[in-house]
Structures are given as structure tokens and as C-alpha cells.
Amino acid sequence: MVVDDLFKFTSFMVHEEPSIRVNQSTCAGCDHKACTFVCPARCYQWNEERRRIDFAYEQCLECGTCLLICDRGALDWNYPVGGFGVRFRLT
């Protein structure tokens, strides 16, 4: 199974407030933008025109990879509040 297939078995309860917040001023000075490569849900995109990270939290898989890879401390990372976020159904 590849990651894209995972979305066939996944649903989301999206809270109006993102549980992960991005410090845009830190990201603007980041020379590798690793989050844009490692996120399996492609939540992070570098917007060259606006010089900022566009972050789409709605399909976050809560894997924690972005928190591990960000060496600048730019992320305020939390799980969604109870009942919200990703729901996996693999069986």
C-alpha cells in the first residue's frame, strides 16, 4: 500500500482551529523547507510569491514527521482536541 491509498480508508473530523501552528517568520529563513518534502499528506507547500508556507492542516495524518524534521522549532505541534482529527479504518 502506498500513502495515497491510505486516504481511501481515512476520514477527518476537522476542527475550525488548526492543532499545528507554523511560525512563518522562521520558515521564511529556512533554507531546506524539509516539511514540504516529508509530509505524507502534502500539508506543506512553499509559496514563493508570498514567501510563506501554505499549510493545509485539514488532512493531517498526525504522524509527527514534520515535528521531527523541523530543526528550527517553527512548529507548535499538538494533537487535535478530543474527537477531532484523523480516523483510520484499515480493517
Q: Which is nearer to ligand SF4, 22 or 91 (CB)?
A: 22
Core vs surface per residue 46-78: b (16+ CB within 10 A) or e? eeeeeeebebebeebbeeeebeeebeeebbebe
Instruction: Report the residue number, 14 or 30, with the smaller CB distance to ligand SF4.
Output: 30
CA distance 7 to 3: 7
**Residue 68 or residue 82: which is nearer to ligand SF4 going by CB?**
68
Q: Return the number of the residue (62 or 84) whose C-beta is nearest ligand SF4.
A: 62
Q: Which residues bind ligand SF4 (CB under 6 A)?
A: 22, 26-27, 30, 33-35, 39-41, 43, 53, 60-66, 70, 72, 74-75
Residue 22: CA count within 13 A, CB half-sphere: 21
Supply the minimum distance, in Å, between the C-beta of residue 23 and ligand SF4. Answer: 7
| In contact, 35 and 26? CB cutoff 8 Å | no
CB of 73 to ligand SF4, least distance (A): 8
